[in-house]
Structure 1
Amino acid sequence: MPRTGERGGPQTRARILAVANRLFVERGYDTVTVAEVAREAGVSSVTVFNHFPRKEDLFLDRAVDAEELLRASVRDRAPDADVLTSLRDATRRLVDAGHPLSGVNDRSVPFFRTVAASPALIARAREIAADLQRTLAEELERDSAFEGDGSLLAAFFIAGYATVLMETARRRTAGEPPSAVVDDHSARLEQLFDALRGGFAPRP
Protein backbone atom coordinates (compact mmCIF):
# COMPACT_ATOMS: atom_id res chain seq x y z
CA MET A 1 0.00 0.00 0.00
CA PRO A 2 1.35 3.49 -0.84
CA ARG A 3 2.60 5.42 2.13
CA THR A 4 0.52 8.32 3.40
CA GLY A 5 0.87 11.34 1.13
CA GLU A 6 3.51 9.69 -1.03
CA ARG A 7 1.62 10.26 -4.27
CA GLY A 8 2.39 13.94 -3.74
CA GLY A 9 2.90 16.41 -6.51
CA PRO A 10 5.85 18.43 -7.81
CA GLN A 11 7.97 17.84 -4.70
CA THR A 12 7.51 14.09 -4.86
CA ARG A 13 8.27 14.09 -8.56
CA ALA A 14 11.39 16.19 -8.04
CA ARG A 15 12.60 13.89 -5.26
CA ILE A 16 12.12 10.81 -7.43
CA LEU A 17 13.98 12.47 -10.29
CA ALA A 18 16.88 13.52 -8.09
CA VAL A 19 17.28 10.02 -6.70
CA ALA A 20 16.94 8.34 -10.09
CA ASN A 21 19.47 10.64 -11.75
CA ARG A 22 22.00 10.10 -8.98
CA LEU A 23 21.65 6.32 -9.09
CA PHE A 24 21.74 6.13 -12.88
CA VAL A 25 24.86 8.30 -13.12
CA GLU A 26 26.63 6.48 -10.29
CA ARG A 27 25.79 2.91 -11.28
CA GLY A 28 24.56 2.99 -14.88
CA TYR A 29 20.97 3.13 -16.03
CA ASP A 30 20.54 -0.55 -16.85
CA THR A 31 21.74 -1.79 -13.45
CA VAL A 32 19.25 0.28 -11.41
CA THR A 33 15.66 -0.91 -10.94
CA VAL A 34 12.55 1.18 -10.42
CA ALA A 35 12.10 -0.56 -7.07
CA GLU A 36 15.52 0.72 -5.96
CA VAL A 37 14.64 4.25 -7.05
CA ALA A 38 11.36 4.04 -5.15
CA ARG A 39 13.03 2.75 -2.00
CA GLU A 40 15.69 5.50 -2.04
CA ALA A 41 13.03 8.15 -2.66
CA GLY A 42 10.80 6.85 0.12
CA VAL A 43 7.84 6.00 -2.11
CA SER A 44 6.35 2.88 -3.69
CA SER A 45 7.05 1.67 -7.21
CA VAL A 46 3.42 2.45 -8.02
CA THR A 47 4.02 6.07 -7.09
CA VAL A 48 7.08 6.20 -9.34
CA PHE A 49 5.03 4.92 -12.26
CA ASN A 50 2.24 7.37 -11.45
CA HIS A 51 4.72 10.16 -12.18
CA PHE A 52 6.80 8.39 -14.86
CA PRO A 53 4.97 5.78 -16.97
CA ARG A 54 8.27 4.42 -18.32
CA LYS A 55 11.56 3.82 -16.55
CA GLU A 56 13.38 5.70 -19.32
CA ASP A 57 11.38 8.81 -18.49
CA LEU A 58 13.10 8.95 -15.12
CA PHE A 59 16.23 10.04 -16.96
CA LEU A 60 14.90 11.49 -20.21
CA ASP A 61 12.43 13.70 -18.39
CA ARG A 62 12.78 16.83 -20.55
CA ALA A 63 10.63 15.57 -23.44
CA VAL A 64 7.59 17.50 -22.23
CA ASP A 65 9.68 20.68 -21.95
CA ALA A 66 10.93 20.18 -25.49
CA GLU A 67 7.40 19.69 -26.81
CA GLU A 68 6.21 22.86 -25.09
CA LEU A 69 9.14 24.81 -26.51
CA LEU A 70 8.33 23.67 -30.05
CA ARG A 71 4.65 24.46 -29.69
CA ALA A 72 5.40 27.90 -28.25
CA SER A 73 7.87 28.65 -31.04
CA VAL A 74 5.05 28.23 -33.54
CA ARG A 75 2.01 29.46 -31.61
CA ASP A 76 3.49 32.30 -29.59
CA ARG A 77 5.97 33.84 -31.99
CA ALA A 78 5.93 37.58 -32.62
CA PRO A 79 3.58 38.75 -35.41
CA ASP A 80 6.52 39.79 -37.59
CA ALA A 81 8.60 36.63 -36.94
CA ASP A 82 8.50 33.55 -39.15
CA VAL A 83 8.82 30.06 -37.73
CA LEU A 84 12.54 29.70 -38.46
CA THR A 85 13.32 32.97 -36.70
CA SER A 86 11.29 31.88 -33.71
CA LEU A 87 12.99 28.47 -33.55
CA ARG A 88 16.42 30.05 -33.92
CA ASP A 89 15.72 32.52 -31.12
CA ALA A 90 14.47 29.71 -28.89
CA THR A 91 17.63 27.64 -29.40
CA ARG A 92 19.80 30.69 -28.74
CA ARG A 93 18.02 31.29 -25.45
CA LEU A 94 18.62 27.68 -24.44
CA VAL A 95 22.35 28.07 -25.06
CA ASP A 96 22.57 31.46 -23.36
CA ALA A 97 20.80 30.09 -20.28
CA GLY A 98 22.79 26.85 -20.22
CA HIS A 99 19.49 24.99 -20.25
CA PRO A 100 19.71 21.17 -20.08
CA LEU A 101 18.01 20.93 -23.48
CA SER A 102 20.88 22.88 -25.03
CA GLY A 103 23.43 20.20 -24.25
CA VAL A 104 25.95 22.79 -23.05
CA ASN A 105 24.97 22.63 -19.38
CA ASP A 106 27.85 21.58 -17.11
CA ARG A 107 25.79 18.61 -15.91
CA SER A 108 25.35 17.38 -19.48
CA VAL A 109 28.57 15.35 -19.50
CA PRO A 110 27.46 12.64 -17.03
CA PHE A 111 24.06 12.69 -18.73
CA PHE A 112 25.59 12.06 -22.16
CA ARG A 113 27.80 9.28 -20.81
CA THR A 114 24.89 7.55 -19.10
CA VAL A 115 22.73 7.66 -22.22
CA ALA A 116 25.56 6.43 -24.46
CA ALA A 117 26.08 3.41 -22.19
CA SER A 118 22.43 2.30 -22.29
CA PRO A 119 20.75 0.78 -25.37
CA ALA A 120 17.37 1.35 -23.69
CA LEU A 121 18.00 5.08 -23.28
CA ILE A 122 19.35 5.42 -26.81
CA ALA A 123 16.22 3.74 -28.17
CA ARG A 124 13.95 5.95 -26.07
CA ALA A 125 15.83 9.07 -27.16
CA ARG A 126 15.14 8.13 -30.78
CA GLU A 127 11.46 7.66 -29.99
CA ILE A 128 11.36 11.06 -28.34
CA ALA A 129 12.98 12.66 -31.40
CA ALA A 130 10.31 11.09 -33.61
CA ASP A 131 7.58 12.35 -31.26
CA LEU A 132 9.06 15.87 -31.35
CA GLN A 133 9.16 15.77 -35.12
CA ARG A 134 5.46 14.88 -35.22
CA THR A 135 4.65 17.60 -32.70
CA LEU A 136 6.37 20.30 -34.75
CA ALA A 137 4.84 19.05 -38.01
CA GLU A 138 1.36 19.11 -36.50
CA GLU A 139 1.83 22.66 -35.21
CA LEU A 140 3.03 23.84 -38.61
CA GLU A 141 0.06 22.20 -40.32
CA ARG A 142 -2.27 24.17 -38.04
CA ASP A 143 -0.44 27.45 -38.61
CA SER A 144 -2.15 29.43 -41.38
CA ALA A 145 0.80 31.83 -41.68
CA PHE A 146 3.30 29.08 -42.46
CA GLU A 147 3.75 28.39 -46.17
CA GLY A 148 5.65 25.28 -47.04
CA ASP A 149 5.91 21.61 -46.18
CA GLY A 150 5.66 21.40 -42.41
CA SER A 151 6.57 17.72 -42.34
CA LEU A 152 9.81 18.36 -44.20
CA LEU A 153 10.78 21.34 -42.08
CA ALA A 154 10.09 19.39 -38.89
CA ALA A 155 12.16 16.45 -40.12
CA PHE A 156 15.12 18.62 -41.14
CA PHE A 157 15.04 20.72 -37.96
CA ILE A 158 14.82 17.84 -35.50
CA ALA A 159 17.47 15.82 -37.36
CA GLY A 160 19.73 18.85 -37.65
CA TYR A 161 19.39 19.80 -34.00
CA ALA A 162 20.07 16.20 -32.95
CA THR A 163 23.20 16.15 -35.12
CA VAL A 164 24.52 19.33 -33.52
CA LEU A 165 23.70 17.98 -30.07
CA MET A 166 25.43 14.64 -30.67
CA GLU A 167 28.62 16.33 -31.85
CA THR A 168 28.56 18.55 -28.78
CA ALA A 169 28.07 15.46 -26.61
CA ARG A 170 30.99 13.70 -28.28
CA ARG A 171 33.32 16.64 -27.72
CA ARG A 172 32.22 17.30 -24.14
CA THR A 173 32.62 13.66 -23.11
CA ALA A 174 36.04 13.62 -24.78
CA GLY A 175 37.10 16.36 -22.38
CA GLU A 176 37.44 19.28 -24.77
CA PRO A 177 37.37 22.79 -23.23
CA PRO A 178 33.72 23.76 -22.57
CA SER A 179 34.06 27.29 -23.97
CA ALA A 180 35.36 26.05 -27.32
CA VAL A 181 32.62 23.43 -27.55
CA VAL A 182 29.90 25.95 -26.72
CA ASP A 183 31.20 28.38 -29.35
CA ASP A 184 31.23 25.64 -31.97
CA HIS A 185 27.78 24.46 -30.87
CA SER A 186 26.37 27.96 -31.43
CA ALA A 187 28.13 28.30 -34.78
CA ARG A 188 26.78 24.96 -36.01
CA LEU A 189 23.26 25.93 -34.96
CA GLU A 190 23.60 29.07 -37.07
CA GLN A 191 24.76 26.93 -39.99
CA LEU A 192 21.70 24.73 -39.50
CA PHE A 193 19.33 27.68 -39.63
CA ASP A 194 21.14 29.17 -42.64
CA ALA A 195 20.61 25.86 -44.44
CA LEU A 196 16.95 25.69 -43.41
CA ARG A 197 16.44 29.29 -44.43
CA GLY A 198 17.63 28.48 -47.93
CA GLY A 199 15.00 25.80 -48.33
CA PHE A 200 12.14 27.17 -46.24
CA ALA A 201 12.33 30.92 -46.67
CA PRO A 202 8.93 32.65 -46.47
CA ARG A 203 7.42 33.48 -49.84
CA PRO A 204 7.45 37.16 -50.84
Structure 2
Amino acid sequence: MTMPSDETPSDRRSRKRLATRRAISLAADRLFFERGFENVTVDEIAAAADVGRMTVFNHFPRKEDMFFDRDEEARETLREALRQRDSRVPPIEALRLLAHQLVRQQTPYLLFSSASQSFIETVENSETLKARARAIRDEIAEELAVSLTESVGQEAGDAKAKLAAAMLLASWSVAFIEAHRTFRQGRDTEKAKVVFLALVDQGSLGVKAAMAGTAYA
Protein backbone atom coordinates (compact mmCIF):
# COMPACT_ATOMS: atom_id res chain seq x y z
CA MET A 1 0.00 0.00 0.00
CA THR A 2 1.64 3.25 -1.11
CA MET A 3 1.68 6.34 1.06
CA PRO A 4 3.74 9.54 0.77
CA SER A 5 7.41 9.29 1.73
CA ASP A 6 9.91 11.96 2.74
CA GLU A 7 12.66 10.10 0.91
CA THR A 8 12.65 11.42 -2.66
CA PRO A 9 15.59 10.55 -4.95
CA SER A 10 17.59 13.54 -6.14
CA ASP A 11 18.35 12.50 -9.73
CA ARG A 12 15.72 12.87 -12.44
CA ARG A 13 15.73 9.24 -13.63
CA SER A 14 15.22 7.89 -10.09
CA ARG A 15 12.46 10.41 -9.41
CA LYS A 16 10.68 9.38 -12.60
CA ARG A 17 11.02 5.68 -11.75
CA LEU A 18 9.70 6.27 -8.22
CA ALA A 19 6.77 8.30 -9.56
CA THR A 20 5.85 5.49 -11.96
CA ARG A 21 6.11 2.91 -9.19
CA ARG A 22 3.85 4.98 -6.93
CA ALA A 23 1.33 5.51 -9.73
CA ILE A 24 1.13 1.76 -10.36
CA SER A 25 0.80 0.95 -6.67
CA LEU A 26 -1.89 3.59 -6.10
CA ALA A 27 -3.89 2.37 -9.10
CA ALA A 28 -3.53 -1.22 -7.90
CA ASP A 29 -4.63 -0.33 -4.36
CA ARG A 30 -7.73 1.46 -5.62
CA LEU A 31 -8.77 -1.52 -7.72
CA PHE A 32 -7.92 -4.06 -5.01
CA PHE A 33 -9.94 -2.15 -2.41
CA GLU A 34 -12.91 -1.72 -4.73
CA ARG A 35 -13.10 -5.23 -6.19
CA GLY A 36 -10.87 -7.55 -4.18
CA PHE A 37 -7.35 -8.72 -4.97
CA GLU A 38 -8.28 -11.84 -6.97
CA ASN A 39 -10.75 -9.91 -9.14
CA VAL A 40 -8.18 -7.50 -10.59
CA THR A 41 -5.81 -8.34 -13.45
CA VAL A 42 -2.37 -6.92 -14.16
CA ASP A 43 -3.67 -5.57 -17.47
CA GLU A 44 -6.37 -3.63 -15.64
CA ILE A 45 -3.79 -2.19 -13.25
CA ALA A 46 -1.58 -1.17 -16.18
CA ALA A 47 -4.51 0.57 -17.87
CA ALA A 48 -5.49 2.37 -14.67
CA ALA A 49 -1.91 3.58 -14.18
CA ASP A 50 -1.57 4.46 -17.89
CA VAL A 51 1.52 2.27 -18.38
CA GLY A 52 2.32 -0.90 -20.30
CA ARG A 53 2.00 -4.39 -18.87
CA MET A 54 5.78 -4.91 -18.96
CA THR A 55 6.32 -1.64 -17.08
CA VAL A 56 4.20 -3.04 -14.26
CA PHE A 57 6.34 -6.18 -14.10
CA ASN A 58 9.54 -4.13 -14.26
CA HIS A 59 8.53 -2.55 -10.96
CA PHE A 60 6.61 -5.43 -9.39
CA PRO A 61 7.53 -9.03 -10.32
CA ARG A 62 4.33 -10.35 -8.68
CA LYS A 63 0.87 -8.90 -8.27
CA GLU A 64 1.19 -9.34 -4.49
CA ASP A 65 4.24 -7.05 -4.52
CA MET A 66 2.03 -4.13 -5.60
CA PHE A 67 -0.04 -4.60 -2.47
CA PHE A 68 2.85 -5.13 -0.04
CA ASP A 69 4.98 -2.45 -1.64
CA ARG A 70 6.36 -1.16 1.69
CA ASP A 71 7.71 -4.58 2.62
CA GLU A 72 11.36 -3.77 1.93
CA GLU A 73 11.07 -0.45 3.73
CA ALA A 74 9.85 -2.24 6.86
CA ARG A 75 12.69 -4.78 6.65
CA GLU A 76 15.30 -2.04 6.31
CA THR A 77 13.81 -0.21 9.30
CA LEU A 78 14.42 -3.29 11.47
CA ARG A 79 17.95 -3.74 10.14
CA GLU A 80 18.78 -0.08 10.64
CA ALA A 81 17.47 -0.08 14.22
CA LEU A 82 19.93 -2.83 15.12
CA ARG A 83 22.82 -1.28 13.16
CA GLN A 84 22.30 2.14 14.75
CA ARG A 85 21.49 1.04 18.32
CA ASP A 86 23.45 2.34 21.28
CA SER A 87 25.78 -0.47 22.36
CA ARG A 88 24.44 -0.08 25.90
CA VAL A 89 20.93 -1.01 24.71
CA PRO A 90 20.38 -4.76 24.13
CA PRO A 91 18.99 -5.68 20.70
CA ILE A 92 15.60 -6.86 22.00
CA GLU A 93 15.13 -3.61 23.89
CA ALA A 94 16.20 -1.61 20.82
CA LEU A 95 13.43 -3.27 18.80
CA ARG A 96 10.85 -2.63 21.53
CA LEU A 97 11.83 1.05 21.52
CA LEU A 98 11.58 1.03 17.73
CA ALA A 99 7.92 -0.03 17.92
CA HIS A 100 7.17 2.95 20.15
CA GLN A 101 9.08 5.27 17.82
CA LEU A 102 7.26 4.06 14.71
CA VAL A 103 3.84 4.50 16.32
CA ARG A 104 4.80 7.94 17.60
CA GLN A 105 5.97 8.95 14.13
CA GLN A 106 2.75 7.60 12.55
CA THR A 107 4.66 5.31 10.22
CA PRO A 108 2.28 4.33 7.37
CA TYR A 109 2.45 0.57 7.95
CA LEU A 110 1.60 1.03 11.65
CA LEU A 111 -1.44 3.27 11.27
CA PHE A 112 -4.71 2.20 12.85
CA SER A 113 -7.36 4.20 11.04
CA SER A 114 -10.31 4.02 8.68
CA ALA A 115 -7.91 4.20 5.73
CA SER A 116 -5.85 1.27 6.99
CA GLN A 117 -8.96 -0.87 7.42
CA SER A 118 -9.33 -1.18 3.66
CA PHE A 119 -5.84 -2.66 3.55
CA ILE A 120 -6.59 -5.16 6.35
CA GLU A 121 -9.97 -6.18 4.92
CA THR A 122 -8.46 -6.77 1.48
CA VAL A 123 -5.89 -9.12 3.02
CA GLU A 124 -8.53 -10.93 5.07
CA ASN A 125 -10.61 -11.54 1.94
CA SER A 126 -7.75 -12.97 -0.13
CA GLU A 127 -6.11 -16.35 0.43
CA THR A 128 -3.28 -15.25 -1.88
CA LEU A 129 -2.52 -12.16 0.19
CA LYS A 130 -2.78 -14.05 3.47
CA ALA A 131 -0.30 -16.61 2.18
CA ARG A 132 2.08 -13.89 1.04
CA ALA A 133 1.76 -12.09 4.40
CA ARG A 134 2.76 -15.31 6.19
CA ALA A 135 5.68 -15.78 3.82
CA ILE A 136 6.83 -12.20 4.39
CA ARG A 137 6.70 -12.74 8.16
CA ASP A 138 8.84 -15.88 7.84
CA GLU A 139 11.32 -14.12 5.56
CA ILE A 140 11.62 -11.19 7.96
CA ALA A 141 12.16 -13.57 10.88
CA GLU A 142 15.09 -15.16 9.01
CA GLU A 143 16.58 -11.78 8.13
CA LEU A 144 16.06 -10.50 11.67
CA ALA A 145 17.93 -13.50 13.08
CA VAL A 146 20.90 -12.60 10.87
CA SER A 147 20.74 -8.95 11.94
CA LEU A 148 20.59 -9.97 15.61
CA THR A 149 23.72 -12.10 15.32
CA GLU A 150 25.56 -9.36 13.44
CA SER A 151 24.57 -6.74 16.02
CA VAL A 152 26.26 -8.64 18.85
CA GLY A 153 29.11 -10.24 16.93
CA GLN A 154 27.77 -13.78 17.09
CA GLU A 155 28.40 -16.37 14.41
CA ALA A 156 25.81 -16.70 11.65
CA GLY A 157 23.19 -19.38 12.22
CA ASP A 158 22.98 -18.94 16.00
CA ALA A 159 19.88 -20.90 17.07
CA LYS A 160 19.15 -18.49 19.91
CA ALA A 161 18.97 -15.60 17.48
CA LYS A 162 16.53 -17.58 15.34
CA LEU A 163 14.38 -18.26 18.40
CA ALA A 164 14.46 -14.61 19.48
CA ALA A 165 13.55 -13.41 15.97
CA ALA A 166 10.65 -15.86 15.66
CA MET A 167 9.28 -14.88 19.07
CA LEU A 168 9.59 -11.16 18.33
CA LEU A 169 7.83 -11.46 14.96
CA ALA A 170 5.06 -13.57 16.52
CA SER A 171 4.41 -11.01 19.25
CA TRP A 172 4.46 -8.10 16.79
CA SER A 173 2.04 -9.97 14.51
CA VAL A 174 -0.41 -10.60 17.36
CA ALA A 175 -0.11 -6.96 18.45
CA PHE A 176 -0.76 -5.73 14.90
CA ILE A 177 -3.85 -7.91 14.43
CA GLU A 178 -5.30 -7.07 17.84
CA ALA A 179 -4.72 -3.34 17.37
CA HIS A 180 -6.63 -3.38 14.08
CA ARG A 181 -9.41 -5.42 15.68
CA THR A 182 -9.60 -2.86 18.47
CA PHE A 183 -9.90 -0.02 15.97
CA ARG A 184 -12.56 -1.84 14.01
CA GLN A 185 -14.67 -2.30 17.13
CA GLY A 186 -14.48 1.24 18.47
CA ARG A 187 -12.95 3.39 15.69
CA ASP A 188 -10.54 4.67 18.35
CA THR A 189 -7.02 5.16 16.97
CA GLU A 190 -5.44 6.02 20.31
CA LYS A 191 -6.87 2.93 21.98
CA ALA A 192 -5.57 0.79 19.11
CA LYS A 193 -2.09 2.25 19.57
CA VAL A 194 -2.21 1.46 23.29
CA VAL A 195 -3.20 -2.14 22.56
CA PHE A 196 -0.44 -2.55 19.98
CA LEU A 197 2.32 -1.18 22.20
CA ALA A 198 1.12 -3.01 25.32
CA LEU A 199 1.29 -6.34 23.48
CA VAL A 200 4.69 -5.52 21.96
CA ASP A 201 5.97 -4.64 25.44
CA GLN A 202 4.57 -7.83 26.93
CA GLY A 203 5.99 -9.91 24.10
CA SER A 204 9.38 -8.26 24.53
CA LEU A 205 9.39 -9.20 28.21
CA GLY A 206 8.81 -12.82 27.22
CA VAL A 207 11.64 -12.76 24.68
CA LYS A 208 13.98 -11.11 27.18
CA ALA A 209 13.18 -13.85 29.72
CA ALA A 210 13.79 -16.55 27.13
CA MET A 211 17.09 -14.94 26.09
CA ALA A 212 18.32 -14.19 29.62
CA GLY A 213 22.05 -14.65 29.83
CA THR A 214 22.62 -13.98 26.13
CA ALA A 215 23.88 -10.83 24.40
CA TYR A 216 20.44 -10.31 22.83
CA ALA A 217 18.76 -9.45 26.13
TM-score, normalized by length of structure 1?
0.89
**Helix, strand or coil: the match of 1:110?**
helix
Deviations 1:134-178 (A, max 9, x none): 100112233344698100001101111111111122233344422
Q: Kindly report which structure 2 residues correspond to 1:39-54, keeping only aligned pairs within 5 A, or say none.
A: 39-54=47-62
Residue number in structure 2 paired with 1:160: 171
Q: Kindly report which structure 2 residues correspond to 1:180-199, keeping only aligned pairs within 5 A, or say none.
A: 180-199=191-210
Maintained 8 Å contact 1:98/1:104: no
Deviations 1:31-83 (A, max 9, x none): 11111010010101111111011100111112101210121122221122110
Residue number in structure 2 paired with 1:169: 180
* Alpha-carbon distance in 2 for matches of 1:110, 1:173: 11
Deviations 1:2-41 (A, max 9, x none): xxx9xx4100001111111111111111111111010010
| Paired AA for residue 182 in structure 2 | R
Task: Tell me how many residue pairs correspond in the alignment.
Answer: 198
Identity of aligned residues (%): 33
TM-score, normalized by length of structure 2?
0.84
RMSD of the TM alignment (CA)? Answer: 2.1
Deviations 1:71-114 (A, max 9, x none): 11222211221101210111111111221322425521111001
**Helix, strand or coil: the match of 1:94?**
helix
Maintained 8 Å contact 2:91/2:151: no
Maintained 8 Å contact 2:178/2:195: no
Q: 1:91 to 1:195 in 2, by over 3 A?
A: same
Residue number in structure 1 paired with 2:45: 37
Maintained 8 Å contact 1:94/1:102: yes
Q: Unaligned stretches of 5+ in structure 1?
A: none
2:137 aligned residue (129, 134, 141):
129
* Alpha-carbon distance in 2 for matches of 1:84, 1:66: 17
Query: 4+ residue stretches of structure 1 with deviation over 3 A?
Result: 143-148, 173-176, 201-204
Residue number in structure 2 paired with 1:10: 18
* Alpha-carbon distance in 1 for matches of 2:169, 2:89: 20
